[in-house]
Structure 1
Amino acid sequence: MLEQLFDLVQQNSQQAVVQNPAVPNEHNEEVMNTLTSSITGGLQEQVQSGNIGGLMSLFGGESGTSAASLLNNPIVASIATNAIGAIVQKFGLNSQIAGNIVNSVLPGVLGAVIGQLNGGGGGSSVGNGFDLGSLIQTGGGLFGGGSDEKGKPASGGVDLGGMLGGLFGGK
């Protein structure tokens, strides 16, 4: 769920955000919220543009899980660009500082998600309980439509949770 994604952002933000003198302490949580929103918004954008194969490749770990390989992935690069822009706009930090924050946090978060999805036990809920399917279906359709009261994808939505659940052995 979103809380789990935010927890991953928090875990990976200690040095880049909390201990960063360029980020005023009163903005630490807001910066982490902005990073979380940028990640979910970037993934939503990929689904809406039809790049399901790219997402499945990313979450399958096909482009690797090192910081350098993740940042070279076009999906991750797009998320990073949007996150940097949002941090610059909202908090007035210069783009180099915002870039350092994003480049420090984003690969760790996505690497953890990929590791948890592929780390054993099968299914889309592994490790610390990260459930990508729930994240995708949260909030009435984070990725376009969500589920109706019977659990079926609502009209206009993509059941990416089901697709990824199938890919990773669950659902």
Structure 2
Amino acid sequence: MLENLFNLVRQQAGDAIINNPAIPNQQNEEAVQEAGHSIVDSLKSALSGGQLNDVLGMFANGQANASAPVVQQATGNFMERLQGKFGLNNSQAAGIAQSLIPNVMNQLAQKTANPNDNSFDVQQIFNQLSGGKTAGMNLQGILNKLKGGLDSDHDGDVDLQDLKSLFSGSGSLVDKLKGMLG
């Protein structure tokens, strides 16, 4: 999963890193690695910090919106790394991070949600992020449920009753996942 993620960052890094004079050519690969680690660290942090719904939603919907908390966190992490390791000023770091991280995370979500693209597997991603704690769970089944709709009581609408069984209360699916990931 990590190698595929770093390859995805490389594919998207053109103007943001590779063709950017603020990052010397000899440091391009290091900047790509930092972007990848920023994404992985932010996903891990989101899962262990109770943002499971955000991460699951991103993979279920096949979209990572730039304003989503986990995307903003990864963007901020990468900005800090660019400033600390490469001496970029705030404006330079923000420009690079904001042009790269949301695009990479959106591509990651799209590739994971696409059944015809096997470059990223949601089970493998969660197993790696959780240190293997999700190995026995059918995460693809959970995502399929989210994709197929949340009307669990089949009354024609998605309301509080539908969401309670999935996202709240002791013993809920999300509660169990939090315990495994936290």
Unaligned runs of 5+ in 1: 147-152, 154-158
Match among 70, 73, 78 for residue 83 of structure 1:
78
Equivalent of residue 113 in structure 2, options 110, 118, 122: 118
Q: Name the residue aligned to 1:136.
A: 126
User: Contact between 2:38 and 2:77, CA under 8 Å: does it hold in 1?
Assistant: yes
Who is 1:42 aligned against?
Answer: 42
Rg larger in structure: 2
The answer to whether the 8 A contact 1:134-1:161 is kept is: no
2:10 is the alignment partner of 1:15: no
CA-to-aligned-CA distance 1:24-67 (integer Å, 9 cap, x gap): 011100001000000000000011112211111122238x55xx
Partner residue, 2:33? 33
Report the residue type matching 1:52 in the other structure. L
TM-score (norm: length of structure 1): 0.75
Aligned to 2:101: 106
Task: Look up the equivalent residue of 2:91 and give its one-letter code.
Answer: Q
Spell out structure 1 runs of 4+ moving beyond 6 A.
Answer: none
Counterpart of 2:91 in structure 1 is 96
1:73 to 50, 68, 73: 68
TM-score (norm 2): 0.71
**Native 8 Å contact 2:59 2:143 kept in 1:** no
How many angstroms does 1:128 deviate by?
5.2
Distance 2:9 2:136 in 1: 21
Aligned AA (1:164): L
Rounded to whole Å, the distance in 2 between the matches of 1:110 and 1:160 is 23
Q: What is the root-mean-square deviation in Å for CA atoms of aligned residues?
A: 2.3
Deviation at 1:167, TM superposition (A): 2.6
Hey, what's the Cα distance between the residues in 1 that align with 2:47 and 2:135? 8
CA offsets per residue over residues 80-123 of structure 1, 9 Å max, x none? 1111011110110111111111111112211111111222x3xx
Contact between 2:75 and 2:102, CA under 8 Å: does it hold in 1? no
For 1:55 and 1:110, how far apart are their aligned partners in 2? Answer: 11
Give the number of aligned pairs. 145
Select the structure that is richer in helix: 2
